[in-house]
């Protein structure tokens, strides 16, 4: 609004602009704009950005990895976040496979520690969509995922947070240039988001705004000039063009 970033409540045709974060209270409505006029930022910037690795049986089988015996998480970095419709910029020096990973994202709404499964359900404010863009050559070369998964623009998230959906009963679809590359049941996980919240909060306090990316079953190559879309039924579609660094066309 007037060049400032504000929270919004997204309706069918209009966005209500809010006076504050709905994660922190009951914000007032400052005005409305048409949905078509919105510029989309990541719907939240987390205090901690959790990401699950191997969590879909077919992904684990494909990777030849062991099925995890209990939930485990890693981290991604906020610098890499970008919003719906913003470009994923492939660094000029990236070689080899450059891939999209379509993921369900749980957005935490409460401060929670030592959660039961029921507490964990209540701790989720809502659901959004993430694309865990990965440069595979760097992923294999490096000791950590710092540049392979956390270079600027490698973590599109959005378009919004859906608060009224049974997220685990949905279908995830990954498309490039309107061609479907993968589709899988969103909830076909080894451990679901609530299992992860129970395990994490044995040792760690989760805070409002923290996000938990739930892993992907399938991935696909993306190239400069493509538009990649991650759709989760009941939530929305996260769409991003792919650019080559230094090339703003």
Residue ranges in contact with its own copies by CB under 8 A: 45, 47-48, 53, 68, 72-80, 91, 113, 142-144, 146-147, 150-152, 200, 202-207
Q: From residue 144, give the alpha-carbon distance in Å to each of 56, 93, 190, 191, 196.
A: 22, 18, 24, 24, 22
Residue 17 CB, nearest approach to its own copies (Å): 24
Upstream peptide bond of 114 is cis (omega within 30 degrees of 0)? no
Q: CB of 73 within 8 A of CB of 51?
A: yes
Cβ proximity to its own copies: between 165 and 244 the closer is 244
Residue 131 CB, nearest approach to its own copies (Å): 17
Residue 52 CB, nearest approach to its own copies (Å): 10
Residue 93 CB, nearest approach to its own copies (Å): 8
Report which of 99, 103, 101, 102 is spatially closest to residue 135, judged by C-alpha positions: 99
- The residues pairing with 180 across neighbouring beta strands, listed in sequence order, are 175
- The residues pairing with 17 across neighbouring beta strands, listed in sequence order, are 8, 31
End-to-end alpha-carbon separation of the chain, Å? 27
Cβ proximity to its own copies: between 113 and 121 the closer is 113
Cβ proximity to its own copies: between 143 and 248 the closer is 143
Cβ proximity to its own copies: between 32 and 78 the closer is 78
Considering all CA atoms of the chain, what is the largest pairwise distance in Å, rounded to the nearest integer? 52
Q: Report the C-alpha gap between 180 and 232 in whole angstroms.
A: 13
Cβ proximity to its own copies: between 72 and 188 the closer is 72
Residue 78 CB, nearest approach to its own copies (Å): 5
Cβ proximity to its own copies: between 116 and 177 the closer is 116
Residue 23 CB, nearest approach to its own copies (Å): 16
The DSSP symbol for 24 reads S
The SS3 assignment for 130 reads strand
Q: Report the C-alpha gap between 173 and 64 in whole angstroms.
A: 23
């Amino acid at each position: 609004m007037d060049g400032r970033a504000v929270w919004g409540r997204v309706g069918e045709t209009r966005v209500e602009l809010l006076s504050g974060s709905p994660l922190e209270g009951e914000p007032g409505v400052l005005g409305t704009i048409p949905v078509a006029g919105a510029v989309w930022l990541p719907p939240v910037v987390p205090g901690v950005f959790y990401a699950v690795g191997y969590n879909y049986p077919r992904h684990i089988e494909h990777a030849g990895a062991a099925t995890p015996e209990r939930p485990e998480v890693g981290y991604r970095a906020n610098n890499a976040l970008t919003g719906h419709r913003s470009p994923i910029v492939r660094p000029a020096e990236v070689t080899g496979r450059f891939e999209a990973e379509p993921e369900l994202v749980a957005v935490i709404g409460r401060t929670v520690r030592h959660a039961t499964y029921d507490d964990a359900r209540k701790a989720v404010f809502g659901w959004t969509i993430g694309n865990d863009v990965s440069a595979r050559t760097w992923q294999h070369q490096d000791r950590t995922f710092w540049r392979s998964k956390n270079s600027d623009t490698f973590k599109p998230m959005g378009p919004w947070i859906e608060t009224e959906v049974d997220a685990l009963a949905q279908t995830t679809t990954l498309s490039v240039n309107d061609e479907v590359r993968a589709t899988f049941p969103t909830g076909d996980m080894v451990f679901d988001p609530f299992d992860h919240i129970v395990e994490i909060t044995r040792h760690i306090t989760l805070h409002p705004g923290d996000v938990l990316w739930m892993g992907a079953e399938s991935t696909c190559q993306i190239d400069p000039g493509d538009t990649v879309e991650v759709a989760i039924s009941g939530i929305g579609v996260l769409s991003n063009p792919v650019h080559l660094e230094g090339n703003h066309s």
